[in-house]
């Protein structure tokens, strides 16, 4: 597969993980076997890490809150931020973790059932980590767009019959 | 009041659109999986919409000059030059129109005199014949053939030409068949026309939507610029159908006459749309490429899917339609489409909506998501299996 094809292949899957190897093969003018091999290879070397579904939980009865927590961290000798990052990302409550430039160091996205639960997690689990200097918790009030997808009413086909 | 006495006999004699008839059958049914729509499923790219919105916020709600904002005409000339090497004078050789449809009307009305013959290859979009009839011209239809992949051949063109032939409509890339004409095929058409006074109206509204090759405008063929009115627009390539914006490019002697019809009948195209279109044509090349790539993948997918369920289809390489052969099941196109709708809830347009020679075929649009196409193909597969029993 050419580099350009590989890029297109990954972009297609990133946009729609449900595309089957058969469908991808037709669309990319490749053999199904080639597609399957390439997919396996990407899974093995960690280019493809998973296939997930985008769910707008606000449209369900599930109770949950999401928070962005800004952490200022004192980097550790030799290991920088990696050690503390590892400690944080191992908590299942942590949905995303980024090392940032700017006025704070780590951006942590946490999901919990209630605000209290999140606040408790920050106070008990995060703030107590040695190298964490300060925390600032921001609760998400509404998700407008995630992973390139707008969270709103389902789209209807309004096109005219002409 | 007896309206039949007051209405124009020409207008009364025009048949209503065949495609309309089928859409009326669909009615308000919500449960239908439709593959009928003739417009992109993409929204207009946001940077283009934003310019339109901003223009309204700033109160730019006035008429423009008749031929359209000069900056837009200039950008269109720049685009046609950088894409195809064609040169037009933005001040004298471009009119911004209300969709490509108005441009077709202007071209026909400026050229056709009562009794003039206008050659129209069919199957084709439904407007050409009626517009010619309204101008008291005589449509002369050439039925393109499945074995030629619905291309207009020079032989068929030559056979249709008479001393009364005024104009050839060249609707490629084609709606409904998806047929295209390559540069060499256009050259062969040009060879037939060279030395005659036959004019050409090249409807290249789908000109940016060709797959595996770059479309050549007819005006780019040697010696054809001077006899060609090129019709194009923003609807298909930039997903701007609802903005109603098209344009034509032609030699100034023609434009100055079409200008008068446009001036009296339309005045000017919508200002908001024109301002947004400046952004589209200036910064929209990447959007076109993105949408074209996506259509191409769906095109391959639907062609493969149709063949898998036993429906034969030539490889359409333009627009966003395929035109499969559905005539092998003992049903007329209309019966096939009607039963597919009734029994499986899938809507496709019978080929006969685009001329009688569409019998045995259907237009399927792939301006739909892959999921949607997959679902429709599954149902069509079931339908075909049941027909075979």
- For residue B308, what are the contacts with CB-CB under 8 A and spacing of at least 6? B377, B381
pLDDT value of position A32 = 96
Q: Are residues B15 and B115 in the same domain?
A: no
- Model confidence pLDDT, tens digit, residues B147-184: 999 999 999 999 999 999 999 999 999 999 999 999 99
Q: Are residues B197 and B292 in the same domain?
A: no
Q: Are residues B328 and B251 in the same domain?
A: no
Q: How far is CA B68 from CA B90, B92, B281, B355, in A?
A: 10, 11, 14, 34
- Model confidence pLDDT, tens digit, residues B236-279: 999 999 999 999 999 999 999 999 999 999 999 999 999 999 99
Question: Phi and psi (nearest 5°) for B259?
Answer: -50, -40
Q: Tell me which residue in A28, A29, A161 faces B26 most closely, judged by beta carbons.
A: A161
Q: Are residues B154 and B239 in the same domain?
A: yes
The domains of chain A are located at: 3-44, 57-140
Choose one of B284, B307, B337: the last residue of a domain: B284
Which CATH number belongs to the domain containing residue B115 in this structure?
A: 3.40.640.10
- Model confidence pLDDT, tens digit, residues A66-84: 999 999 999 888 888 999 9
Q: Are residues B293 and B174 in the same domain?
A: no
Using the Cβ of B54 and the Cβ atoms of chain A, whether some distance falls under 8 Å is answered with no
Q: Are residues B248 and B105 in the same domain?
A: yes
Which CATH number belongs to the domain containing residue B333 in this structure?
A: 3.90.1150.10
Instruction: Answer yes or no: CATH 3.30.70.920 is held by domain A57-140.
Output: yes
Q: Are residues B92 and B118 in the same domain?
A: yes
pLDDT tops 70 at residue A162:
no
Choose one of B258, B284, B310: the last residue of a domain: B284
Report residues of chain B scoring pLDDT below 50: none
ipTM at complex level: 0.85
Contact B370 A29 (CB under 8 A): no
Domain containing B83 equals 47-284
Q: Which residues of B touch A19 (CB under 8 A)?
A: 370
pLDDT value of position B214 = 96
pLDDT value of position B158 = 98
Q: Are residues B375 and B345 in the same domain?
A: yes
Q: Which residue of A has its CA nearest to B38?
A: A162
Q: Which residues of B touch A26 (CB under 8 A)?
A: 300-301, 304
Contact A159 B41 (CB under 8 A): yes
Q: Are residues B258 and B295 in the same domain?
A: no
Q: Are residues B205 and B225 in the same domain?
A: yes
As a whole number of angstroms, the distance between CA B357 and CA B338 comes to 18
Rg of chain A over Cα atoms, rounded to whole angstroms, equals 21
Choose one of B269, B284, B299: the last residue of a domain: B284
Contact A159 B297 (CB under 8 A): no
pLDDT tops 90 at residue A159:
no
**Which whole number is the average pLDDT over A126-131?**
93
pLDDT value of position B233 = 97
In chain B, the number of structural domains is 2
Using the Cβ of B26 and the Cβ atoms of chain A, whether some distance falls under 8 Å is answered with yes
Q: Is the Cβ–Cβ distance between B324 and B336 less than 8 Å?
A: no
Q: Are residues B115 and B82 in the same domain?
A: yes
Q: Which residues of A touch B354 (CB under 8 A)?
A: none
A162 vs chain B: nearest CA distance in angstroms? 7
Q: Are residues B96 and B159 in the same domain?
A: yes
Using the Cβ of B300 and the Cβ atoms of chain A, whether some distance falls under 8 Å is answered with yes
Q: Tell me which residue in B26, B34, B297 faces A27 most closely, judged by beta carbons.
A: B297
- For residue B92, what are the contacts with CB-CB under 8 A and spacing of at least 6? B252, B255, B256
């Amino acid at each position: 597969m050419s580099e350009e094809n590989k890029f297109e292949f990954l972009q297609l899957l990133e946009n729609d993980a449900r595309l089957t190897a058969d469908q991808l093969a037709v669309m990319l003018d490749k053999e199904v076997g080639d597609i399957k091999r390439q997919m396996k290879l990407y899974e093995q070397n960690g280019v493809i890490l998973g296939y997930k579904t985008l769910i707008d939980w606000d449209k369900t009865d599930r109770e949950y809150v999401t928070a962005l927590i800004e952490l200022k961290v004192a980097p550790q000798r030799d290991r920088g931020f990696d050690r503390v990052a590892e400690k944080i990302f191992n908590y299942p409550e942590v949905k995303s973790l980024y090392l940032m430039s700017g006025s704070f160091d780590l951006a942590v996205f946490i999901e919990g059932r209630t605000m209290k639960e999140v606040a408790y997690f920050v106070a008990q689990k995060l703030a107590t980590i040695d190298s964490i200097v300060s925390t600032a918790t921001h609760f998400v009030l509404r998700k407008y767009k995630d992973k390139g997808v707008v969270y709103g009413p389902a789209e209807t086909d309004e096109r005219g019959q002409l | 009041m007896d309206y039949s006495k007051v209405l124009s006999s020409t207008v009364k004699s025009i048949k209503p659109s065949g495609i309309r008839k089928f859409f009326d059958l669909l009615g308000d049914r919500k449960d239908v999986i439709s593959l009928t729509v003739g417009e992109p499923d993409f929204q207009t790219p946001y940077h283009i919409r934003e310019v339109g919105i901003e223009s309204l916020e700033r109160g730019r709600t006035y008429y423009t000059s008749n031929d359209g904002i000069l900056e837009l005409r200039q950008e269109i000339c720049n685009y046609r030059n950088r894409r195809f090497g064609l040169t037009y004078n933005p001040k004298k050789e471009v009119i911004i129109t209300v969709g490509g449809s108005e441009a077709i009307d202007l071209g026909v009305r400026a050229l056709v005199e009562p009794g003039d013959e206008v050659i129209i290859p069919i199957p084709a979009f439904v407007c050409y014949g009626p517009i010619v009839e309204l101008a008291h011209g005589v449509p002369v239809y050439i039925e393109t053939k499945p074995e030629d992949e619905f291309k207009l051949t020079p032989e068929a063109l030559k056979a249709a030409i008479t001393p009364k032939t005024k104009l050839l409509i060249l609707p490629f890339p084609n709606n409904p068949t998806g047929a295209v004409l390559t540069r060499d095929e256009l050259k062969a058409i040009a060879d037939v026309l060279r030395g005659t006074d036959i004019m050409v109206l090249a409807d290249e509204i789908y000109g940016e939507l060709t797959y595996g090759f770059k479309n050549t405008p007819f005006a780019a063929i040697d010696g054809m610029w001077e006899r060609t009115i090129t019709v194009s627009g923003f609807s298909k390539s930039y997903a701007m159908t609802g903005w109603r914006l098209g344009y034509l490019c032609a030699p100034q002697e023609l434009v100055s006459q079409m200008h008068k019809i446009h001036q009296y009948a339309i005045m000017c195209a919508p200002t908001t749309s024109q301002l947004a279109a400046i952004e589209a044509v200036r910064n929209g090349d990447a959007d076109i490429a993105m949408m074209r790539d996506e259509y191409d993948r769906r095109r391959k997918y639907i062609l493969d899917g149709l063949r898998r369920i036993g429906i034969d289809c030539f490889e359409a390489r333009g627009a966003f339609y395929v035109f499969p052969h559905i005539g092998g099941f003992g049903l007329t196109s209309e019966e096939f489409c009607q039963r597919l709708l009734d029994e499986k809830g899938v809507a496709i347009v019978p080929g006969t909506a685009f001329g009688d020679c569409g019998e045995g075929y259907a237009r399927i649009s792939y301006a739909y998501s892959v999921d949607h196409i997959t679902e429709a193909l599954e149902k069509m597969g079931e339908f075909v299996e049941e027909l075979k029993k």
